[in-house]
Amino acid sequence: MFDGKIELSDWHHCAAGHQRSIFAHPLYPNVLIKVLKPESRGEGGTRRSKRRLRFLNRFKRFGAYRTFQREVDEFLEQARRFSLADRVELPIPRIFGFANTDYGLGLIVEKITMSNGEIAPTLRELALSGRLTATHLKMIDELFERFCRLHIVMMDVNPGNFVVTDRRGFEELICVDGTGEKSPLHIFAFSRRMNEARLRRMRAKLLTKLAGTLACSVAVSGDESVRAALGRYQRQTDQRTRSIGLSPDPAH
């Protein structure tokens, strides 16, 4: 499917995270390519870091591509447990493989779209545009319950990592990024109880970040019941902000 090196200048830069950029192409409507940003990787794919002991990174396998390795490991763990006969729809995208690009190694993943073929909006986009509803908040609870049942391990939560799709005829929430075991001891992969406790904390962290997004000055006023439901998370954010001597967002 992708022979040789892919020139991503021919692709649409559709999204970006802290470390990675994501590209789409109209000829391949079902896939995306994730690549590391140049500032996230050094020569030979080593990881760039501002931490004091960053020189230790050179001795770790996979270098800057450890984030790919974690994501692939989590997908493999889930995929091995379910066959097609189980008819289990995982709340994470499928991984199709790797490709060489002019941005370095790229991870080829399933593109989560709406029923009309448009790329599914993230929770962050819904919050900023005033389209976040109480139903979406309930979907967050249901998704994290599924994560607990399926024992899915996460390394990061961000409103931009979750999308809402209606591709199966009803709205559902999919986690498109941030999965995988970050702990070097793999304690969350080994212990279901510890992973469930961590998922509860990550759910609260996600809701706190959503509350902060709604408080941004550029956010469009939307469902007031959502703001009310997330109010206590915003108050926690404001209290932490004051404790370090900063002022809360004046838009809140």
The fold adopted by the segment(s) 1-111 is Phosphorylase Kinase; domain 1 (3.30.200)
SS3 188: helix
Give pLDDT, residue 33: 97
Which residues lie closer than 8 Å to 169 by C-beta, 6 or more apart? 115
How does residue 80 score in pLDDT terms, banded at 50, 70 and 90? confident
- What's the average model confidence in pLDDT over 227-247? 67
Give pLDDT, residue 86: 62
Give pLDDT, residue 246: 46
Does residue 31 contact residue 108 with C-beta atoms inside 8 Å? yes
Residue 244 has pLDDT above 60, yes or no: no
Does residue 248 contact residue 236 with C-beta atoms inside 8 Å? no
Give pLDDT, residue 252: 40
Which residues lie closer than 8 Å to 70 by C-beta, 6 or more apart? 155, 179, 180, 181, 182
Give pLDDT, residue 62: 72
What is the spatial distance between Cα 172 and Cα 114, in angstroms, rounded to a whole number?
10
Give span(s): CATH 3.30.200, the chain. 1-111
pLDDT mean across residues, the chain: 86
- What's the average model confidence in pLDDT over 22-33? 95
Instruction: Read off φ and ψ for residue 132, nearest 5 degrees.
Output: -75, 130
For residue 69, count other CB atoms closer than 10 A to its CB.
15
pLDDT tens-digit profile of 87-120? 678 999 999 999 999 999 999 999 999 999 999 9
Tokens of 148: 């607990």
Residue 51 has pLDDT above 60, yes or no: no
Report pTM.
Answer: 0.85
pLDDT tens-digit profile of 117-170? 999 999 999 999 999 999 999 999 999 999 999 999 999 999 999 999 999 999
- What's the average model confidence in pLDDT over 178-195? 94
